[in-house]
Amino acid sequence: MGSGQSTPLSDCLNAVCDGRSSCVAYPDNPLYQISWVNRYNLDIPVTPVAVTRPETTDDVSGFVKCAVSNNVKVQAKSGGHSYANFGVGGTDGELVIDLQNFQQFSMDTTTWQATIGGGMRLSDVTDKLHNNGKRAMAHGTCPGVGIGGHATIGGLGPSSRMWGSCLDHVLEVEVVTADGTIQRASEIENSDLFFALKGAGAGFGVITEFVMKTHPEPGDVVQYSYSSTFGKHADMVDVFDQWQTLVSDPELDRRFGTEFVMHELGVVITATFYGTEEEFDATGIPDKIPTGKVSVVVDDWLAVIAQQAEDAALYISEIRSAFTARSLAFKSDELLSKDSITDLMNYVDDTERGTLLWFLIFDATGGAISDIAQNATAYSHRDKIMFCQGYGVGVPTLTQTTKDFINGIISTIQGTVPQTLTTYPGYVDPVLTNAQGSYWGPNLDTLGEIKSKWDPSDLFHNPQSVAPSTLDAGQTSHAHRRRTLPLMWNHGH
């Protein structure tokens, strides 16, 4: 279908646009794939039936109603890209609603609650909060990620152990639901929908606006960086074991966030402490971090955000490329033994990688995130203390050798742990056999019931989203087959 071919769907979408340019694009538009679809992972092709760019919530409502009347699935894109994966929405033939025009922002200086448009990117959120009272909230480090996906899937970052995940800051939303109705949702109003939107948002509606709590910016912030290059990754077994022991300490100061990054030439450990250098020293953490080539810098909040974005860009570039990504989550009783760490490092050393651009990133989590009950929001990983994500980037193309290498990392780790490890839905893993169970675990049945109430026809669909619990056996089987297609929605770290 294209703009030159009149169909019931294109007629409906064009009527909503009412002559406005840059409102909808079809596959025959020369700029459709380059600037409208604009895939983040070039290894996974996707052709939406159309991409829309609404300007108002009424536009969103109109586009949703067009999709319903033409039996077309819908996925929103939050104006940015996904930290972990694909970032355009759904599968072939779906309607994408790109919220890049939703850039509204206001701050209530009495409550210090911020109202944020569903298409704003994290870098702009940081700037707006700073310029409106020097406020802050927890979020990830990739500046190009959109808040709409980030704050509805989890939203993890260096300050999350101190303040909770990004979605833990969400107090209320404006959302367009599957019948095209514009709703408000909070713990008081449409609380079941609000539960689902805080952790599984892509399958439940299009959020056009958030009301979020904020915090005063920290004063001094200590940044720590340790780097090492070496002959073999096996030389780093003790270093990783020391880092894992540190982050698994249940008494670890919540002002501390850290990650351990393996790459072709060595290891980098980055850490952030929200306080003074004297306070950092008083925690005892400096005595427990691996020492060597160490850099410690004390700076302010904005400078630290900028540095974290720069660090993240070393591993997860803003540049669109072909890559593979796999991930795992760890509870305190699922951490790697010394023998398991050795097995992992030996696997990395002994296996053909197919690329020089690969990374294995371990993040510390827990802290304030774990204060909230597992069944309080759709986000179910309250009991996790560590995540890992493996990436292999194709230059210029992604080879099966690189995919096999990253898959082998995951299977090597998984093989050393008695339990089946799950993963955070913000670290999308398209080859999971039971993605929904891995992402939402004990909350999945409740989410299926809420989906049946708010979106019984599965309008808001992607290959790994929550299915309505009312689907009969035949529909469930068909839905599961659909969900084996590559995942393409936008959410972020």
Of 217, 96, 91, nearest to 146 (Cα)?
96
Q: What is the pLDDT of residues 170-227, one digit of tens each?
A: 999 999 999 999 999 999 999 999 999 999 999 999 999 999 999 999 988 998 888 8
216 C-beta neighbours (distance < 10 Å), count:
11
Tell whether 266 is covered by a domain. yes
Structure tokens at 248: 């698994």
Q: What is the mean pLDDT of the chain?
A: 87
In a domain, 75, yes or no: no
Q: Give the pLDDT score at 160.
A: 96
Total number of domains in the chain: 1
What value does the mean pLDDT take over residues 309-334? 76
Answer whether residue 48 is part of any domain.
Answer: no
State the CATH number of the domain containing residue 372. Answer: 3.40.462.20
Find the length of the chain.
Answer: 493
As a whole number, mean pLDDT of residues 292-314 equals: 68
422 touches 398 (CB < 8 A): no
Locus of tokens 């809420």: 450
C-alpha Rg value of the chain to the nearest Å: 22
What is the structure's pLDDT at 483? Answer: 31
Mean pLDDT over 323-342 rounds to 93
* Surface-to-core class of residue 442, CB atoms within 10 Å of its CB (0-12 exposed, 13-18 middle, 19+ buried): exposed
What is the pLDDT, as a whole number, of residue 219? 86
- Of 21-35, 229-243, 263-277, 311-325, the least confident: 311-325
List of residues 6+ apart from 169 with CB closer than 8 A: 137, 138, 151, 163, 212, 213, 214
Provide mean pLDDT across the span 437-464: 95
- Residue bearing the bigger pLDDT, 36 or 294: 36
Question: Across residues 384-402, what is the average pLDDT?
Answer: 91
Could you tell me the residue range of the domain that residue 259 belongs to?
Answer: 221-414
pLDDT confidence band for 474 (50 / 70 / 90)? very low
Q: Say if CB 10 and CB 26 are below 8 A apart.
A: yes
Residue 484 lies in a domain: no
Tokens 């990830």, residue?
Answer: 140
Nearest CA among 57, 40, 314, 317 for reference residue 176: 57
User: 24-25 and 50-52 as β-strands: parallel, antiparallel, unpaired?
Assistant: antiparallel
Q: How confident is the model at residue 488 (pLDDT cuts 50, 70, 90)?
A: very low
pLDDT for res 328: 94
Other residues' Cβ atoms within 10 Å of the Cβ of residue 372: 16
Work out the pLDDT band at 34, boundaries 50, 70, 90: confident
Q: In what order do the strands lie in the sheet with 206-213?
A: 105-108, 113-117, 206-213, 170-176, 182-186
CA distance 347 to 380: 31
Degrees, nearest 5: CA angle 410-411-416: 105
Q: Which of 143-157, 367-381, 393-407, 412-426 has the highest mean pLDDT?
A: 367-381
pLDDT-derived band at 8 (thresholds 50, 70, 90) equals very high
Q: With pLDDT > 90 as the criterion, what percentage of the chain qualifies?
A: 65
Q: What is the pLDDT of residue 132?
A: 97
pLDDT in tens, 395-449: 778 999 999 999 999 999 998 887 789 998 888 788 888 999 999 999 999 999 9
Lowest mean pLDDT across 96-110, 291-305, 320-334: 291-305
Report the alpha-carbon angle 413-417-421, nearest 5: 75
Average pLDDT over residues 367-391: 96
**212 in a structural domain:** no
Tokens for 144, please give them. Answer: 């190009």
- pLDDT at position 110 is 98
Q: Long-range contacts made by residues 74-77, C-beta under 8 angstroms, separation at least 24?
A: 74/206, 74/459, 74/460, 74/461, 75/202, 75/460, 75/461, 75/462, 75/488, 75/489, 76/118, 76/148, 76/149, 76/202, 76/206, 76/207, 76/460, 76/489, 76/490, 77/146, 77/149, 77/489, 77/490
111-115, 177-181, 473-477: segment of lowest average pLDDT? 473-477
Q: Whole-angstrom Cα distance, residue 445 to residue 372?
A: 19
What residues form DSSP beta bridges with 185?
173
Give the tokens for residue 56: 């108002």
| Amino acid (1-letter code) at residue 104 | Q
Residue 233 lies in a domain: yes
**Confidence tier at 85 by pLDDT (50, 70, 90):** very low
Residues 132 and 143: their CA atoms lie apart, in Å, by: 19
* Strand-pair category, 170-176 with 182-186: antiparallel
Return the pLDDT at 145. Answer: 86
CA quadruple 97, 480, 183, 17: dihedral, nearest 10: 20
Decide which of 155 and 473 is more confident.
Answer: 155
Question: For 156-183, what is each residue's pLDDT tens digit?
Answer: 999 999 999 999 999 999 999 999 999 9
Provide the H-helix boundaries in 181-262: 191-200, 237-247
Q: Kindly report which listed range (222-226, 302-306, 315-319) carries the lowest average pLDDT score.
A: 315-319
Q: Is the preceding peptide bond at 396 cis, omega within 30 degrees of 0?
A: yes
Q: What is the pLDDT of residue 325?
A: 86
Give the pLDDT band of residue 12 (cuts 50, 70, 90): very high
Q: Which residue has the higher pLDDT, 103 or 325?
A: 103
| Full-model pTM | 0.91
pLDDT at 397: 85
Which has more confidence, 219 or 321? 219
> Is residue 272 in a domain?
yes
Q: Are strands 215-216 and 206-213 parallel, antiparallel or unpaired?
A: unpaired
Helix axes 191-200, 444-454, angle to 10 degrees: 120
Chain-centre distance for alpha carbon 151: 8
Kind and range of the H or E run holding 283: helix 277-283
Give the confidence band of 87 by pLDDT, cuts at 50, 70, 90. very low
Sequence letter at residue 35 = S
Looking at residue 5, its pLDDT comes to: 73
Q: Is residue 410 domain-resident?
A: yes
Q: What is the DSSP string of 450-465?
A: HHHHH-TT--B--TTS
The pLDDT of 47-56, averaged and rounded, is: 94
